[in-house]
């Protein structure tokens, strides 16, 4: 079987992570933390996640012409990711994320986007040859919205399945949403997208149906330790996940999205694809760091 072809359009950051007993309150210093510096960024994480699970991945991104950017490109090549459409920006530095993680695996993140904020619709158009060959296009919201809109449009026209991970959360118009095949919000993000408070399964269904009425074909709402809520073609069900003791949830959502893209590109059904993605997200939460936490196919199969 040929490897699935996935184009990821998104951000690349260097993550600086401090893990300590608890996250400080404003003005407070907490001593005794462990420091890790690792490659990150939602787009980069999802690209690496898909590549480690066996996909042929092309990454469309923008980094600074600096040490972080050059190191990122070298790392992508080590992961067998096609870097032809990663531009080095001469004016902006590479993106950086500062991440604090507590003993329960919860985190807070502050991002300086740098060159990610310069990724343009024209950068997407330059990658059209790769997009036209792809089975799945995977996009997030750490890049400018006009670029997201162009990625959805070009991906839809190519005949590829378009997955949009609407994170960090922001309002999206109906024209953009109508080009999305699979939307993967968490509960906070779906509340922002729909204005619908999500307190129980009935609220989740109403929120997902609101998005479907605006053009989204399938909604997969991630529920953390409860798994995922899948709504597609009138069917709605919770797809459970495995129980773990979380270490760091930083890249769990990115592992989920990368794995979902791989499974759908391989031709697996929606429910099976979501189950596979749940497993990848759970695995990533058992390790510290973003890209260091992402599993290979062998690791995921033995984890199951």
Report the distance separating Cα 85 and Cα 288, nearest Å. 29
pLDDT of residue 104: 86
Do residues 34 and 67 lie in contact, with contact meaning Cβ atoms separated by under 8 Å? no
For 58-87, how does the pLDDT look when each residue is reduced to its tens digit (9 = 90+)? 999 999 999 999 999 999 999 999 999 999
Q: Which of 4-13, 101-110, 209-218 has the lowest mean pLDDT?
A: 101-110
Confidence label for 288 from pLDDT (cuts 50, 70 and 90): confident
Report the distance separating Cα 161 and Cα 4, nearest Å. 12
Residues in the chain: 304
> Could you tell me the pTM of the whole model?
0.92
For 100-152, how does the pLDDT look when each residue is reduced to its tens digit (9 = 90+)? 989 888 889 898 999 999 999 999 999 999 999 999 999 999 999 999 999 99
Residue 146: CB atoms within 10 A of its CB come to 12
Q: Which residues lie below 8 Å from residue 235, measured CB to CB, with a gap of 6+?
A: none
Number of helices and strands (H, E) in the chain? 11, 13
Do residues 255 and 281 lie in contact, with contact meaning Cβ atoms separated by under 8 Å? yes
Domains and CATH numbers, the chain: 5-23+34-294 (3.40.1190.20)
Share of the chain above pLDDT 90, in %: 83
Say which residue, 106 or 275, is predicted with more confidence. 275
Do residues 226 and 238 lie in contact, with contact meaning Cβ atoms separated by under 8 Å? yes
Q: Give the residue numbers annotated as catalytic, written as ranges.
A: 254
Element (H, E) at 121: helix 121-126
pLDDT of residue 304: 67
pLDDT of residue 1: 61
């Amino acid at each position: 079987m040929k490897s699935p072809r996935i184009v990821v359009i998104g951000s690349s950051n260097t993550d600086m992570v401090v893990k300590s007993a608890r996250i400080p309150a404003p003005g407070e210093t907490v001593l005794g933390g462990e420091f890790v510096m690792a490659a990150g960024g939602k787009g980069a994480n999802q690209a690496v996640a898909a590549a480690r699970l066996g996909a042929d991945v092309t990454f469309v991104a923008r980094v600074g012409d600096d040490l972080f950017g050059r190191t990122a490109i070298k790392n992508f090549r080590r992961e067998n990711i096609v870097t032809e459409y990663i531009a080095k920006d001469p004016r902006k530095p590479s993106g950086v994320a500062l991440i604090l993680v507590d003993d329960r695996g919860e985190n807070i993140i502050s991002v300086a986007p740098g060159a990610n904020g310069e990724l343009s619709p024209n950068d997407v158009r330059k990658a059209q040859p790769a997009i036209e060959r792809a089975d799945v296009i995977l996009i997030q919201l750490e890049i400018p919205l006009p670029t997201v809109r162009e990625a959805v449009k070009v991906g839809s026209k190519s005949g590829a399945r378009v997955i949009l991970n609407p994170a960090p959360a922001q309002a999206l118009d109906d024209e953009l949403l109508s080009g999305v095949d699979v939307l993967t919000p968490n509960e906070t993000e779906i509340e922002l997208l729909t204005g619908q408070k999500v307190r129980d399964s009935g609220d989740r269904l109403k929120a997902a149906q609101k998005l479907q009425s605006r053009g989204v074909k399938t909604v997969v709402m991630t529920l953390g330790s409860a798994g995922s809520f899948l709504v597609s073609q009138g069917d709605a069900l919770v797809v459970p996940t495995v129980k773990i003791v979380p270490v760091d949830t930083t890249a769990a959502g990115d592992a989920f999205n990368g794995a979902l893209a791989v499974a759908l590109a391989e031709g697996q059904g929606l429910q099976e694809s979501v189950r596979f993605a749940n497993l990848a997200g759970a695995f990533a939460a058992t390790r510290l760091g973003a890209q260091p936490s992402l599993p290979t196919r062998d690791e995921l199969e033995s984890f199951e």
